[in-house]
Structure 1
Amino acid sequence: MTNDETSRDAADIVSAKWQTVLAYADHKINPATTRAAYAQPRLRELFPVVSHGVLYLNRCTGFPAPADVPVVYRLSGGGFQVVRESDGVNLGEPTTLEEAFALVVANLPEGCGPAIIGTADDL
């Protein structure tokens, strides 16, 4: 398999997973969250995973995945908190999902490109 074929396969896997996540019912995740993330072209290239109502975006399709892509959490009083879990840094507390995911894009790890097939060890 060539690098082009591997990249194409990874893109297909990521695209299929996004379609699944975008179709989740609102008891799994607020659909506005997945739509706001998907609206960002750079985030659309990352592998989405939903756990406990939170959308995680990964640079690889397998686990373990690095925790270096910031995560958006809904605050109980309104607004959102964007956290880089790899070092626990709070990157900000924007008021809208659009602002939150723009902050995620602005804080992607250096060299972050489309997700690859593999785990954190393969990055």
Structure 2
Amino acid sequence: MIDDMSTETVVEKTWRMLLERHPDARRGDPEVIEAAFAELRLRQLFPFPSHGCLTFHRNTDFPWSNDLPFIAGGEKTYLVYAAGYAEILGEVATPQAAAALVVAHLPSDCGAAVEGPWQGPNTP
């Protein structure tokens, strides 16, 4: 029997650990994580919960792409920001609406995350 977890990508393993609330996973709002995972385009990106936010990256290791919208907040409202807090893209009442808003603002060239450090535009 082949262990399915041995064939997981870094992105798949990170999502799984977040959803299972694994002790070695970063901590984030479980409802936001579940809502983001439900969106296929977000599920292909590397999730990174930190400081009350759930960011998404085009790669799996530092330095991060840091060029995608993300979700902040929780409880009563969720804010969706453009990369780097450049602007508020919207304020919504549910994590599902926040995840959908992130998807609506993803660049058209945003595909599945690549493993390793970011090698794209604006790499130092």
The TM tier, using the shorter chain, reads 0.7 to 0.9
| TM-score between the two structures when normalised by the length of structure 2 | 0.79
Partner in structure 1 of residue 81 of structure 2: 83
Alignment RMSD (CA, Å): 2.3
Q: What residue is the counterpart of 2:10 in the other structure? A: 13
- Which whole-Å deviations, capped at 9, do the CAs of 1:62-116 have from their partners, x for residues lacking one? 111122211111167x211100124612101111111111000000123000000
List aligned pairs for 1:1-123, cutoff 5 A.
12-24=9-21, 28-74=27-73, 78-86=76-84, 88-122=86-120
Contact 2:37–2:43, Cα closer than 8 Å, also in 1 = yes
Counterpart Cα distance in 2 of 1:60 and 1:54? 18
More strand by share: 2
What code does the residue aligned with 2:63 have?
P
Instruction: Please give the alpha-carbon distance, in whole angstroms, between the structure 1 residues aligned to 2:36 and 2:11.
Output: 14
Quote the residue 2:4 is aligned against: none
Q: Which has the higher helix share?
A: 1
Partners of 1:47 and 1:61 within 8 A in 2: yes
The SS at the match of 1:93 is: strand
Following the alignment from structure 1 to structure 2, what is the Cα–Cα distance between the partners of residues 14 and 53? 20
Task: State the number of aligned residues.
Answer: 112
Q: 1:101 to 1:66 in 2, by over 3 A?
A: same
Indicate conservation of the 8 Å contact 1:55/1:71, yes or no.
Answer: yes
Q: 1:13 to 1:75 in 2, by over 3 A?
A: closer
List runs of 5+ in structure 2 lacking aligned partners. Answer: 1-6
Identical-residue share of aligned pairs (%):
36
Give the aligned partner of residue 6 of structure 1.
none
TM-score, normalised to structure 1, is 0.79
The CA deviation at 1:21 is 1.2
